[in-house]
Amino acid sequence: MWFWFALGSAVFAALTSILAKIGIEGVNSNLATAIRTMVVVVMAGKAGF
């Protein structure tokens, strides 16, 4: 079971990093952090966490 949690964590961290590098340039850093956090929360919700 721990393997799936570790894999999910790695995937979500990678998605956060990718989203931070694309499409969020020129946006306030606080807003960008909020957007990335919401994306991670949505993805985690779809994964059943």
Question: What would the pLDDT profile of 4-49 be if each residue is shown by its tens digit?
Answer: 888 888 887 887 777 777 766 777 778 877 877 888 788 788 777 6
Tokens of residue 39, six digits: 């994306």
The total domain count for the chain is 1
**Residue 27 DSSP code:** S
38-42: which pairs have CB atoms within 8 A and are 24 or more residues apart?
39/15, 40/12, 40/15, 40/16
pLDDT for the residue 23: 66
DSSP calls for 28-47: -HHHHHHHHHHHHHHHHHHH
**Residue position matching structure tokens 């989203």:** 19
- Say how far apart CA 11 and CA 40 lie, in whole Å: 10
Residue 14's domain spans which residues?
A: 2-47
The reply to whether the predicted model has a pTM over 0.85 is no
